[in-house]
Amino acid sequence: MIELVLDVNGAERSARVPPLRRLLDVLREEFGLTGTKEGCGEGECGACSVLLDGELVNACLVPACQAQGAKVVTVEGLARPDGTPSTLQRLFLERGAAQCGICTPGMLLAAQRFIDLGATPTDEAVREALAGNLCRCTGYSKIVEAVIEAAREARR
């Protein structure tokens, strides 16, 4: 067992866990942050995407021992401090980018990472940035639209 201490959405959290416990389980079961979803458990669907020290990762593939001291951002950490949705979240809502909602948290973080990098939001670039996040409901167009718009607003 290891004493895992990490920063999740700006707050210090700790848990005593086996070193190979998945970051996904730590977030969901130890910290009750169930916004991060499990879709496949093998890094194929992206539903469990979170930011780990700023990088987009699949939380199902990160063992607890490799998250020691890290800074983690989950969907619960994306809203504004007053709890209202971020620009990206608002645009997802307005553009119809969320349907069943399971891919949504991971998709938001993949999109957030793309926006953070500040690249020009072309259709192809956004699709590439989201390509590891499977969505079965939307056909992706609405998601891509929302991300392009959010990236443009961020660059303004």
Largest CA distance in the chain: 47
Which residue, 18 or 118, is less far from other proteins as judged by CB? 18
The rounded distance, in Å, linking the Cα atoms of 148 and 142 is 10
Alpha helices in 34-132 (DSSP H): 87-95, 104-117, 123-129
Binding flag, residue 33, other proteins (CB under 8 A):
yes
Applying the rule CB under 8 A, the residues between 114 and 143 that interact with other proteins are 123, 126-143
Which residue, 41 or 71, is less far from other proteins as judged by CB? 41
- Contacting residue, 4, 6, 26, 60, with other proteins by CB under 8 A: 60
Residue 35 tokens, joined:
């916004």
Closest CA to 21 of 40, 43, 39, 3: 3
- Contacting residue, 103, 115, 148, 151, with other proteins by CB under 8 A: 103
Min CB(7)–other proteins separation in Å: 18
